[in-house]
């Protein structure tokens, strides 16, 4: 018996790996985070499978279901949104499974920030504009931020920021980041990426809060901050530059 932690992607039922879909279709028990994973993602569970939305459940209640499946020798598809390695709350589950001697595997998925960038047609790293992407969040009611990971510290890098779980903290985001990025720095807000009602808002650090307020977005939104979001003056990369030879494209000899 194995528990498979499966990254379901951001919402689009087609943005799941072949392996993830295959495991959902083969596991007689399927536990999915229904607040972020649409039912269509787990619709391929076997006929007669025990399919449970864990959104209203506690960790202990989820473990009861897993232990019952383990006692019956049944594999479990534990389906999370995006990629489980990012804000997936799998570490605490894995710790419990290890203590009970229950086998597990993690199946990666498409992270929300990558799906959002694709939907917007944006490259998050541009030559000489930004070569670093920081995936982070702001302090909330559930937990604060570790020392050294506050926005003021991270903002000094001027890297592209992908801010999760922070749509209600836009005032603080403005206050902390404008000194580093400037009030005119482009910002994009991606709401429910991959779902039928996905929405994108574009603005700057100076005006995005008002746009979000008017759109009434209060949850399941991702915030991008950085010059790559609105910069069209970057230079071409050296990757395909004919004047830049590399091991797979050596310098061509000039015909004599």
Q: Can you tell me which residue has the tokens 């083969």? A: 26
CB contact at 8 A, 109 and 84: yes
Could you give the CA distance from residue 229 to residue 88 in angstroms, rounded to a whole number?
A: 26
The pLDDT assigned to 247 comes to 61
pTM above 0.95? no
pLDDT in tens, 6-33: 999 999 999 999 999 999 999 999 999 9
pLDDT in tens, 98-140: 999 999 999 999 999 999 999 999 999 999 899 999 999 998 7
User: Closest Cα partner for 164 from 115, 227, 239, 112?
Assistant: 112
- Classify 199 as helix, strand or coil: strand
- Burial (CB count within 10 angstroms: exposed 0-12, middle 13-18, buried 19+), residue 150: middle
Q: Is the pLDDT of residue 241 over 80?
A: no
The pLDDT assigned to 98 comes to 98
As a whole number, the mean pLDDT across the chain is 93
Per-residue confidence band for 248, with pLDDT thresholds at 50, 70 and 90 = low
Full DSSP string of 207-254: THHHHHHHHT--SSEEEEESGGGT---PPPPSTT-TTS-BTTBPPPPP
Could you give the CA distance from residue 63 to residue 52 in angstroms, rounded to a whole number?
A: 13
Identify which has the larger pLDDT, 51 or 143.
51
Tokens of 130: 């930004």
């Amino acid at each position: 018996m194995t528990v498979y932690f499966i990254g379901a992607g951001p919402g689009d039922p087609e943005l799941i790996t072949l392996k993830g879909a295959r495991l959902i279709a083969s596991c007689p028990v399927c536990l999915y985070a229904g607040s972020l994973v649409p039912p269509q993602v787990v619709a391929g569970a076997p006929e007669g499978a025990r399919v449970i939305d864990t959104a209203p459940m506690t960790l202990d209640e989820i473990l009861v279901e897993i232990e019952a499946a383990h006692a019956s020798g049944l594999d479990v598809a534990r389906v999370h949104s995006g990629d489980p390695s990012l804000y997936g709350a799998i570490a605490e589950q894995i710790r419990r499974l290890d203590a009970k001697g229950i086998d597990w595997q993690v199946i990666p998925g498409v992270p929300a920030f990558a799906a959002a960038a694709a939907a917007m047609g944006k490259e998050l790293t541009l030559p000489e504009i930004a070569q670093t992407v920081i995936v982070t969040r702001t302090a909330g009611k559930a937990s604060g931020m570790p020392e050294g990971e506050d926005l003021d510290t991270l903002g000094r890098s001027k890297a592209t920021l992908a801010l999760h779980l922070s749509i209600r903290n836009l005032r603080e985001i403005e206050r902390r980041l404008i000194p580093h990025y400037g009030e005119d720095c482009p910002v994009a807000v991606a709401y429910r990426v991959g779902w039928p009602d996905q929405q994108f808002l574009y603005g700057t650090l100076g005006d995005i809060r008002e746009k979000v307020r008017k759109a009434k977005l209060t949850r399941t939104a991702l915030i991008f901050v950085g010059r790559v979001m609105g910069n069209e003056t970057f230079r071409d990369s050296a990757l395909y530059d004919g004047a830049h030879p590399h091991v797979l494209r050596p310098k061509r000899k000039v015909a004599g």
